[in-house]
Amino acid sequence: MVIEPIMETSPSSTPTQADDKKNGGETTPAPVGRTLIDIDHVDFFYGENQALFDIDLKLEEKKVTAFIGPSGCGKSTLLRCLNRMNDLIDGTKVKNGQIKIRGIDIYSPEVDVIELRKRVGMVFQKSNPFPKSIYENITYGLRLQGQNDKSYLDEVVEKSLRGAALWDEVKDRLHTSGLGLSGGQQQRLCIARAIAVEPDIILMDEPCSALDPISTSKVEELIHELKNQFTIVIVTHNMQQAARCSDKTAFFYLGKLIEFADTQTIFMNPANAQTEAYVSGRFG
Amino acid sequence: MEATATSHVFQKRSTPASRWEKRIFWAFRAATYLILVCGASVFLTIFFKGAGTVFKTEAPFINTTFFTDAPETLYVFEYEGVKYEMGDREFREFKNANPAANSVRASSYAHSAGGIWPCIVGTVMLVVGSMTIALILGVSAAVFLNEYAREGPFIRFVRLAILNLAGVPSIVFGLFGFGMFVIYFGWNVSLLAGWFTLAFMVLPVIITASEESLKSVPKGFREGSLALGATQWQTIRKNVLPYALPGILTSSILGIARVAGETAPIMFTAAYVIRDKLPWEDLKHAGDFFFQGVMALPYHIYVVSSKIPQNEYTERVQYGTAFVFLLIVASIAAASIILRNKLRNRYKW
């Protein structure tokens, strides 16, 4: 099953099965609140251990959604459910509930997980450029799809590196190893690699946790840029980061979704006492 | 505690613990040196005793016929007051040239003249063939176990089987190969039977070591690749196996040394005591190549050391063969190490 790309389509022509599922409960209504990812009362298990309890969330298109919460609260687990990365771990299972992307249940048996992952890119906590050249890193995904046209690949490499704000730093050494870059550059290379295959959604699992403050701010600026094109879900331990770069924030605690609202609301005026305690640094 | 002028809190004193420290240190040190002595004496014995056969005092300083000829019977005789030592062919020519020599009484010593070229050829063929089979089977199994299989009772059983295979004595592999390939499959004593027997013997080494080197490839490379929409096989082929290859080659170096060195598995399955023709000579069909026995260095050493009467002439062949054998194993291993280092430099993380 192929999920049709939605990036190029204008809002008016986008399929509208989720049009009315605008997330309610906030003071300021979001301008283009089209639900792209619909997490519908999901329970998730690692073997016998339940990691997520009845998560119900609707993530909007071309927005940055941040998942925050203390370690072990299930935010990374939920993120990795969205491109079925958890399939790689033995004994994991989504019991009850569905995760729908554009209305399609991604855990249904007829979904091709390879197609899903082409549409839902991922950037990992630890930057993991492959021990190949920068050029090979970025073209990796396209080459897998059988794309070998050199001029097209060149074009994508430049576009992706510009998109990841890395072009000016590496344009003279595209054919040197990606591992020769600094930590922050490596992480941006991984972002460039992810956007090269033109996904709809980019999942970021604590992308800045191993970076210095300057690299972190570069990646954050980049996230701002990217949300014009992509829907971004970011897991972070850093609450300032969530506050700076996300539109919406979800707070998790012990596998449960405690509160989900506009970032402003979460940080300035949370409805839940636990959320307030966490964002003000009193626990977690 | 004696009160000397330099006495202070950190003064060195002889305590039971410090005395034991010294003794233990020396015990360990002696054990290590003993190993060095063992290794050096093995190599030096073979070098000095074998050097006489392999090298010559006049140019080109290397006894080329020892490398290029087949083993021959040595004839020692006295003719017109001069003592001669000749190989089989040379002796016949000598008799043709000097008809009077036909009546001399020559004492003959099997295998003591000529060279070991067919044994070198046979050993190299056995190594190349069996390592090819073992690497294909072993790496496939390692990839399956490490990348695809999910832990469960069956996989545990497979691992147990591999572990047990590693503990089987080589002579048992020889018997198995004889029963299975030589008799049951009807391959007779042949290269093919030897290849499979040797391959089965090194499989556990290759599988275990390949799995280790697959494990050492960071998980991030696999996840990163899968997250870009690669299938599992694409991930393995492009982003796991190339990085694991240096480690796999390291393990195959150990495998090569074992395959080349074992006598027991090939003595019933592939090795001939003597064979005049080289493996590529006089083949009716190309397929016959696989169904012929060969001479092999370790088996040749075994034959000349225990199957023929011992005397001052056989010793030359024994040590000469051992010397060349060590040289060949060392050079195959060296070639693999160079290849491995090249690959290692290509991929670093």
pLDDT tens digit string along A226-248? 988 999 999 998 888 899 989 99
Cα–Cα distance measured from residue A249 to residue A234, given in angstroms and rounded to the nearest whole number: 9
User: Which residue has tokens 């062949």?
Assistant: B317
pLDDT per residue over B122-154, tens digit each?
999 999 999 999 999 999 999 999 999 888 899
pLDDT per residue over B276-324, tens digit each?
788 888 778 888 888 988 999 999 999 988 888 888 888 888 999 999 9
CB contact under 8 A, B228 and A141: yes
Cα–Cα distance measured from residue B295 to residue A29, given in angstroms and rounded to the nearest whole number: 87
Query: Euclidean distance between the first and final Cα of chain A, in Å?
Result: 41
Residue B41 inside a domain? The answer is no
**Is the same domain home to B99 and B216?**
no
Query: Chain A closest CA to B228's CA: distance in Å?
Result: 5
CATH of residue B236: 1.10.3720.10
- Sequence-distant (≥ 6) Cβ neighbours of residue B210 within 8 angstroms: B138, B139, B142, B143, B244, B247, B248, B251
Residue B330 inside a domain? The answer is yes
Question: Would you state the structure tokens that stand for residue A221, as one six-digit string?
Answer: 């600026």
**Is the same domain home to B99 and B138?**
no
CB contact under 8 A, A194 and B349: no
List beta partners, residue A37. A59, A101
Cα–Cα distance measured from residue B329 to residue B298, given in angstroms and rounded to the nearest whole number: 11
Tell me the pLDDT band of A284, cut-offs 50, 70 and 90: low
Domain-terminating residue out of B52, B81, B114: B114
Cα–Cα distance measured from residue A69 to residue B269, given in angstroms and rounded to the nearest whole number: 67
**Is the same domain home to B107 and B127?**
no
Domain region containing B81: 72-114
Nearest to A144 among B223, B224, B230 (CB): B230
User: Region B89-94: what's the mean pLDDT?
Assistant: 86
**Is the same domain home to B93 and B222?**
no
Cα–Cα distance measured from residue B341 to residue B349, given in angstroms and rounded to the nearest whole number: 14
Provide the edge-to-edge strand list for the sheet that holds B71-79: B82-87, B71-79, B107-114
Look at residue A31 and tell me whether its pLDDT is greater than 70.
Answer: no
Q: What is the mean pLDDT of chain B?
A: 88
**Is the same domain home to B130 and B236?**
yes
**Is the same domain home to B91 and B141?**
no
User: Which residue has tokens 């010559």?
Assistant: B56
**Is the same domain home to B320 and B172?**
yes
Domain count, chain B: 2
Query: Chain B closest CA to A119's CA: distance in Å?
Result: 8
Residue B320 inside a domain? The answer is yes
Position B71: which residue type?
Answer: P
* CB neighbour burial string for B36-67, b if at least 16 within 10 angstroms, e if fewer: eeeeeeeeeebeebbeebbeeeeeeeebeebe
pLDDT per residue over B12-59, tens digit each?
888 999 999 999 999 999 999 999 999 999 999 999 988 888 887 777
Residue B174 inside a domain? The answer is yes
Cα–Cα distance measured from residue B113 to residue A115, given in angstroms and rounded to the nearest whole number: 70
Residue B86 inside a domain? The answer is yes
Query: Chain B closest CA to A245's CA: distance in Å?
Result: 23
Map residue A146 onto helix, strand or coil. Answer: coil
- Are B211 and B142 in contact by the 8 Å Cβ rule? The answer is yes
Model-level pTM?
0.80
Cα–Cα distance measured from residue A235 to residue A79, given in angstroms and rounded to the nearest whole number: 7
A27-128+199-279 is a CATH 3.30.2020.30 domain: no
- Encode chain B in three state secondary structure: CCCCCCCCCCCCCCCHHHHHHHHHHHHHHHHHHHHHHHHHHHHHHHHHHHHHHHECCCCCCECHHHHHCCEEEEEEEEECCEEEEEEHHHHHHHHHHCHHHHHCCCEEEEEEEECCHHHHHHHHHHHHHHHHHHHHHHHHHHHHHHHHCCCCHHHHHHHHHHHHHHHCCHHHHHHHHHHHHHHHCCCCCCHHHHHHHHHHHHHHHHHHHHHHHHHCCCHHHHHHHHHCCCCHHHHHHHHCHHHHHHHHHHHHHHHHHHHHHCCHHHHCCCECCCCCCCCCCCCCCHHHHHHCCECCHHHHHHHHHHCCCCCHHHHHHHHHHHHHHHHHHHHHHHHHHHHHHHHHHHCCC
Question: Would you state the structure tokens that stand for residue B68, as one six-digit string?
Answer: 């290029």
CB contact under 8 A, B220 and A126: yes
Position B337: which residue type?
Answer: I
Look at residue A6 and tell me whether its pLDDT is greater than 70.
Answer: no
Domain-terminating residue out of B84, B99, B114: B114
pLDDT per residue over B61-87, tens digit each?
888 888 888 888 888 888 888 888 888
ipTM, interface predicted TM-score of the complex: 0.82
Query: Euclidean distance between the first and final Cα of chain B, in Å?
Result: 57
- Are B236 and A120 in contact by the 8 Å Cβ rule? The answer is no
For chain A, give every domain's residue range: 27-128+199-279
pLDDT per residue over B241-289, tens digit each?
999 988 888 878 878 888 988 999 999 998 888 887 888 887 788 888 8
- Sequence-distant (≥ 6) Cβ neighbours of residue A213 within 8 angstroms: none
Backbone angles phi, psi at B299, to 5 degrees: -70, -35
Residues of chain B with C-beta less than 8 angstroms from the C-beta of A194: 227-228
Tell me the pLDDT band of A25, cut-offs 50, 70 and 90: very low
Cα–Cα distance measured from residue B112 to residue B90, given in angstroms and rounded to the nearest whole number: 13
pLDDT per residue over B174-224, tens digit each?
999 999 999 999 998 999 999 999 999 999 999 999 999 999 999 999 999
Tell me the pLDDT band of A14, cut-offs 50, 70 and 90: very low
Long-range contacts of B30-35 (CB under 8 A, 24+ apart): none
CB contact under 8 A, A85 and B229: no
Tell me the pLDDT band of B4, cut-offs 50, 70 and 90: low
Residue B82 inside a domain? The answer is yes
**Is the same domain home to B157 and B90?**
no
- Are A182 and A215 in contact by the 8 Å Cβ rule? The answer is yes
Cα–Cα distance measured from residue B266 to residue B147, given in angstroms and rounded to the nearest whole number: 34
Report how many Cβ contacts below 8 Å link chain A to chain B. 67
Composition of chain A by helix, strand, coil, percent to 5: 35, 25, 40
Closest alpha carbon to A143 in B229, B122, B209: B229
Domain-terminating residue out of B58, B91, B114: B114
Nearest C-alpha in B relative to A130: B221
- Are A143 and A95 in contact by the 8 Å Cβ rule? The answer is no
Q: What is the mean pLDDT of chain A?
A: 85
Distance of CA B36 to CAs B28, B31, B241, B262, B325, Å? 13, 9, 37, 23, 21
| Helices then strands, each counted (H, E), chain A | 10, 11
Query: Chain A closest CA to B136's CA: distance in Å?
Result: 25
Residue B90, Ramachandran bin (φ over 0: left; ψ between -120 and 50: alpha; else beta): alpha
CB contact under 8 A, B230 and A141: yes
Residues of chain B with C-beta less than 8 angstroms from the C-beta of A144: 228-230, 234, 238
Closest alpha carbon to A215 in A261, A176, A166, A255: A166
Cα–Cα distance measured from residue A132 to residue B348, given in angstroms and rounded to the nearest whole number: 9
Residue B20 inside a domain? The answer is no
Mutate to test the interface with B, among A1, A130, A195, A201 (most CBs of B within 10 A): A130
Residue B96 inside a domain? The answer is yes
pLDDT per residue over A40-94, tens digit each?
999 999 988 999 999 999 999 999 999 999 888 889 999 999 999 988 888 888 8
**Is the same domain home to B205 and B176?**
yes
Nearest C-alpha in A relative to B231: A114
Mutate to test the interface with A, among B228, B234, B346, B349 (most CBs of A within 10 A): B228
Nearest to B349 among A118, A179, A190 (CB): A179
Torsion sign across C-alpha atoms B224, B225, B226, B229:
positive
Distance of CA B68 to CAs B13, B108, B260, B278, B294, Å? 68, 22, 20, 11, 16
**Is the same domain home to B90 and B125?**
no
**Is the same domain home to B324 and B232?**
yes
Half-sphere exposure (Cβ direction) of A33: Cα atoms closer than 13 Å: 16
- Sequence-distant (≥ 6) Cβ neighbours of residue A8 within 8 angstroms: none
